[in-house]
Structure formats: C-alpha cells, structure tokens
Amino acid sequence: MLTETSTTPPTFLLDAPRFLFLTGKGGVGKTSVACAAAISLAGAGRTVLLVSTDPASNVGQVFGLEIGATVTPVRAVPGLSALEIDPDHAAATYRERIVGPVRGLLPAAEVRLIEEQLSGACTTEIASFNEFTALLTGDESAAGFDHVIFDTAPTGHTIRLLQLPASWTDFLNDGKGDASCLGPLAGLDRQRTVYAAAVSALADPDRTRLVLVTRAQRAAVDEVARTHTELSALGLRRQHLVVNAVMPAPRLPDTLANAVRDREQAVLASLPAELAELPRDVLELKPENMVGLGALARLFEPGSTAPTDPQEPDDVSLPAGVASLDALVEELSHEDHGLIMLMGKGGVGKTTIAAAIAVALAERGLPVHLTTTDPAAHLTQTLAGAVPGLEVSRIDPATETERYRQSVLSRKGAALDEAGRASLEEDLRSPCTEEIAVFRAFSTIVNQGSRRFVVMDTAPTGHTLLLLDATGSYHRDAARQMGTSAAAFTTPMMRLQDPDHTKVLIVTLAEATPVLEAEELVGDLRRAGISPWAWVINNSLTAASTTDPLLLRRAHDEQAEITKVLRDSSHRCAIVPLLAHEPVGIAALRAVATAGTGQPVPDYGRTA
C-alpha cells in the first residue's frame, strides 16, 4: 500500500479547486499526469475521484486494476478512487431508460426500430455527456470527494465535450423541430437544469481549473495553443501548462540524445505568447514507462534515475521479422488504387506515418488523396510542401455540418413555406446533425479508394470506432430496407471489410499502453469483419542509434512490446526509429519511410 508520496507537487496542484481538467493532444501523457496528480493529492490527505472521459481509457492499466463504470477504490492509495465513463455502458443505460417503459406496450418491430435509432454515435455522445455533466452538478457518485480530476479524450473531442452543455441548452431553448435524431433526444428537455449547472461549473474559476498537457514538440504546442484560445472563449480561463517528458541534459555525449534535447529546448524557448504567460510545470522524461504506482509516484520528481552505464548493445537489438515502412509501401504500390487507413492510439504518430506513405506512393507516380478524420489534424504542417499527384484534405466537422445543412435546406426546404423552413432549420441545429454530416463525408472518401489511393489518418482509437459504429448502423439499416431479394448494393462498411479495397495499418509505439490499446482495437475491428493488414511501430529507440543511458534503458523496455506486435502482426510489421529531427517536410517524410533499411538517414534538418 502506498501510504504516502514523496512527489513534489507541481504548481497546477497548488490551491487546486475541486474540478481539474487535463487535456491536450493524444499521446502527450495526460493519463500519466492525471494519475500522478491524483496520487499526489491523495498523499496530501485529500479524497480524490479520478474520472476518464476518453473512450479509449487506459487508467485501469496504469494502476494495474480493473476500473469500470462504477466508482472503484484504488486500495493501494488511501483516499483515491477511479471511474471510467464507458461510452458503450453509458449508451446501453441511456437506451434502456428510453426503451424500457415502452417495451411490452408497443409491437416488437417498433421497439426494435427505436433501438436501432438509438444505436448510433450520437446516442453514445449524449449518454457520455449526461454522465459527465452529472459529475459536475452534484451526482452522488462524486459526493464526498475533495477533488474530481478529469482525464479527458484528445483535444478536439474534449473541446466538443465541453461545448456540449451550451450546445444542448441552446438547442432545447431554440430547436423544437422534428430532430433528425429524435430518438436520442428523448428526455433531454428535463435535463435543462443539469446542463445549465454544468455550464456554470465549467465557467467558475473557483471550481474548475484547466491543465493543458503537451510535449515539447511543435505540433503538440501549436495544438495546445489553439485549445487555450478555444477554451478561454468557453469561459475556462484559469489554465496551467504542463510540458511532459522533456529530455534531460545527456550525461554522456550522444548524437541522438543531444539532438532531441536541443529541439525540445528550442520549442520551449519559443512558446506562443499566450502559453508563455501561463503558470508552467516542466516534467522530465523518465527511464521507465508510467505504469504502476511506483513509477507514477516518481513522475513529479526532478532528476533522472537512468543507469550510469549503458546497456549492452545485444540487449536492444532488433528481432527478426521487422521491415522498413518503405517495404510496406512497395507492396502497396503493386496496386493502382485502394483505401489505406492508419489507426491507433492518440500520439503514436499516425499523421506522420500517413503522410510518409502518401508521399512515397505519390513519388512512385501514383495518384494519392491524403485525408484525415481527426478534428485535431495537422496534415499540412506535417507535409510543409507539395508533391505532384498528391491531394490533401480534411474531414472538418464544422465544414461538413454546414455543407450538409445547406444541402438539406436546398433540397427539402425549397418547397416549404416560411414556417416549415424555420422548423427544418431548427431541426438542423441539433448537435446530432454533425454525426450525419461527418459520416456522409467519410463514406464519400471511402468510395474514392476504388479509383485511386486514399490514405486516411484517423482520429484516436475510441472516436474512430464510434465512426465505424455509425458506418455499421447505416449498413444494417440499408440491408434491412433493401431486403434479401433486392439488387446487389455496396455500403461503406462492405468496402471497409473488403481486403482488396481497404488496408488497415495499426500504428503503435513499443510501449505497454499503446500496444495493449492496439491489441484491443484489432479485436474490435475483427468483430466488425475488418482484418488489419500490417502493423507499424513508430519512434522506436531499439531501431535508433544511441548510447545514451536513459534512452538505452527505454529501448531495453521496448523488447517485450516489439515481440507482442510481431506475434500479432499478420506477418507484416514495419519499424520506424526515433529520428534526430522532427519529421516535418517532404524530405523528412522520405527519411521516415526509408529509416530502418540500413541506409544512412540524411541530416535533413527542418527543410522540405
């Protein structure tokens, strides 16, 4: 039992209000920082509830115990409990609350139709949102806790979650039309008071503090700067900045360690003005992964505990069976079209790998469309240049929603009178309209893979699965309406299940949490009839050239995870080493594809 903690409390925990929100780009270490903060507060004698709002939560794995949809005491840390807002559980509970009273009163076919209407991602969003707002407004599960710490989903989805109270309140006040998602909206009207209280709690700096977690990387800092601005506009102005996993000064001369240190220090020295003014904590990179109470209790400690002597080179050699990313691209290029989907946990480098694949295919003379479903995407910053034959786009929820609204108004609204058109416009102001709009855009791009290459950088795992749920719901609805005697039809889900049309690449890091989440993702995909085509292990220290003791210690810990990936990789596994420079620009992306082939990696710097 961890009865006390020797951690040094960071500034964001000083005079902490009751609610703490940790947010940032995927993979920056929000969960680790949230768990360490919870341990620190509990060690100071406070009672703490740690809540994960991430559909792909790994809080349970970090603590080494099973955590679910009910408050679970972390017995090794007196005063600490944890809770995961499980989207599936929340949606099932929400559905039953609506369907239960009419089951047995309505014909079975009508009940099944209502259940189908409540099976989409919109229902999941509303149900998770209800759980979230309840914790902010006096739900009994949070009663008695001095602090509630929210470990949130990656930035774009956190913004969406925090906007929901105002969005639904506005819709309930103004939108009384026939909502396109009327089933999920059932019962929302009686939640007005709860939503108003949630907005009040979020905007009150004496009750709520936002902690922006980032890495000392340009893309992560740029994203957290946007987050700062957007959340300030929502009223969350008491903000702190945490820069996580910063490379300490190397103890021994090492090219890779020095390059990583230099680039991170350059990022810290040039923070955007709005971030530079915030209270700031800088946490050093530790030699071990942040799994287990011992590691978490040391996260806030200054100084490194890396061994003073390097590991033997044989301890960190690459096993047989891994290839370069370029080898996968070469196999993909044997066709002249297809959908290539990059999937995995946030922060594993899907955007970089997607861009590198797209550049490599385009430079082979093939037509390529590079796109993303991630609300926090930064494809253009990663490319920082152009390649002939390469088109770049983004499925932007706001843009797609407005495009869909205008399409519906022009088609259905043209024949309506003034009152009817006003009613239709109210209907389209429902936040659920976004689900339909994004799905339509996603389906269009999926179909493009039949005539050219489409490389798709997806949102972090949990949110991609919600999009696939919507795709599956559409497929089932289409199949039901067409009937067994209808002419052949093709849905987006059928294209995703077709291995000749779609190749799914699972991107991960050689660390316990990303690999575990990737394995769970593979299980979800296979249950949906989608088989991964290959795995990519990104930013590997095992594949890099280093003699730095801290990096070698981390490389040594990669071995078991690389072995797991090779076991489950369907005989295709590429490994990309950690490079000395951030992979930004066309030349840098070429290096990402060819690194690990045994060829020297050029010192491309930051040029395109």
Query: Do 25 and 374 touch, CB atoms closer than 8 A?
Result: no
What is the model's pLDDT at position 467? 58
Query: Do 325 and 357 touch, CB atoms closer than 8 A?
Result: yes
- Of 48, 67, 77, 53, the closest CA to residue 144 belongs to 48
Pairing type for strands 80-84 and 72-73 reads: antiparallel
Q: What is the pLDDT of residues 444-464, one digit of tens each?
A: 888 899 899 999 988 755 555
Pairing type for strands 534-540 and 502-509 reads: parallel
> In the annotation, is 345 catalytic?
no
Look at the block and give the residue holding tokens 């014909």.
107
Q: C-alpha 441: how far from its chain's center? A: 20
Structure tokens given for 244: 């996580």
Assign 539 a pLDDT band (cuts: 50, 70, 90). Answer: very high
Give the H/E segment covering residue 586.
helix 586-594
Annotated catalytic residue within 29, 156, 349, 585: 29
Q: What is the pLDDT of residues 570-585, one digit of tens each?
A: 678 999 999 888 888 8
289/532 Cα distance (integer angstroms): 27
What is the model's pLDDT at position 307? 46
Structure tokens given for 578: 């950690």
Structure tokens given for 61: 């794995």
Annotated catalytic residue within 7, 23, 54, 345: 54
130/186 Cα distance (integer angstroms): 13
For residue 103, the 8-state DSSP code is B
Mean pLDDT, the chain, as a whole number? 79
216/242 Cα distance (integer angstroms): 10
Residue 483 sits at φ, ψ, to 5 deg, of 80, 165
pTM: 0.77
330/393 Cα distance (integer angstroms): 24
Look at the block and give the residue holding tokens 């913004």.
159
Q: Could you give the domains of the chain?
A: 11-297 (3.40.50.300), 315-395+451-594 (3.40.50.300)
- What does R_g of the chain's alpha carbons equal in angstroms? 24
Annotated catalytic residue within 7, 32, 119, 180: 32
Q: What is the pLDDT of residues 229-264, one digit of tens each?
A: 888 887 778 899 999 999 999 988 999 999 999 999
> In the annotation, is 32 catalytic?
yes
> In the annotation, is 54 catalytic?
yes
Query: Do 77 and 39 touch, CB atoms closer than 8 A?
Result: yes
Residue 306 has pLDDT above 80, yes or no: no
CA distances from residue 105 to 112, 115, 116 in whole angstroms, order as listed: 13, 15, 18
SS3 state at 441: helix
Strand partners, 281: 242
What is the model's pLDDT at position 121? 58
Q: Is 107 exposed, middle or buried (0-12, 13-18, 19+ CB in 10 A)?
A: exposed
More confident residue, 128 or 191: 128
Query: Do 368 and 362 touch, CB atoms closer than 8 A?
Result: yes
Concatenating the DSSP letter of every residue in 497-560 gives H-TTTEEEEEEEESSHHHHHHHHHHHHHHHHTT----EEEEEEESTTS----HHHHHHHHHHHH
409/186 Cα distance (integer angstroms): 24
- Of 344, 376, 334, 341, the closest CA to residue 358 belongs to 341
What is the model's pLDDT at position 601? 40
591/602 Cα distance (integer angstroms): 7
Q: Is 541 exposed, middle or buried (0-12, 13-18, 19+ CB in 10 A)?
A: buried
Residue 486 sits at φ, ψ, to 5 deg, of -75, 165
Task: List the strands of the sheet with 390-392, edge to edge.
Answer: 390-392, 368-372, 453-457, 338-343, 502-509, 534-540, 573-577
Residue 101 has pLDDT above 50, yes or no: yes
Structure tokens given for 245: 């996993």
Annotated catalytic residue within 7, 23, 30, 382: 30
Q: b or e along 271-296 (b: 16 or more beta carbons within 10 Å of the residue's beta carbon)?
A: beeebeebebbebbbbbebbbebebb
Residue 72 has pLDDT above 80, yes or no: yes
Structure tokens given for 12: 């964001």
> In the annotation, is 564 catalytic?
no
Return the axis-axis angle of helices 512-527 and 461-482, rounded to nearest 10°: 0
Annotated catalytic residue within 26, 27, 43, 462: 27
Q: What is the pLDDT of residues 134-156, one digit of tens each?
A: 777 766 677 789 999 988 765 55
Share of the chain above pLDDT 70, in %: 77
> In the annotation, is 104 catalytic?
no
- Of 236, 243, 244, 239, the closest CA to residue 279 belongs to 239
Of 284-288, 345-349, 443-447, the range with the highest mean pLDDT is: 284-288
Q: What is the pLDDT of residues 360-419, one digit of tens each?
A: 999 999 999 999 877 666 778 788 888 899 999 888 878 888 888 888 888 887 778 888
Annotated catalytic residue within 7, 31, 123, 382: 31
Q: b or e along 584-595 (b: 16 or more beta carbons within 10 Å of the residue's beta carbon)?
A: bbbbbbbbbbbb
Q: What is the pLDDT of residues 46-62, one digit of tens each?
A: 999 998 876 556 677 77
Concatenating the DSSP letter of every residue in 161-215 gives HHHHHHHHHHHHHH--S--TTHHHHTTGGGGHHHHHHHHHHHH-TTTEEEEEEEE
Assign 6 a pLDDT band (cuts: 50, 70, 90). Answer: very low
SS3 state at 400: helix
Strand partners, 148: 19, 49
Q: C-alpha 433: how far from its chain's center? A: 22
Query: Do 363 and 480 touch, CB atoms closer than 8 A?
Result: no
- Of 511, 579, 573, 581, the closest CA to residue 545 belongs to 579
Residue 351 has pLDDT above 60, yes or no: yes
Look at the block and give the residue holding tokens 């280093």.
546
Strand partners, 343: 506
Q: What is the pLDDT of residues 495-511, one digit of tens each?
A: 888 899 999 999 999 98
Neighbour count for residue 567 (Cβ, 10 Å) = 10
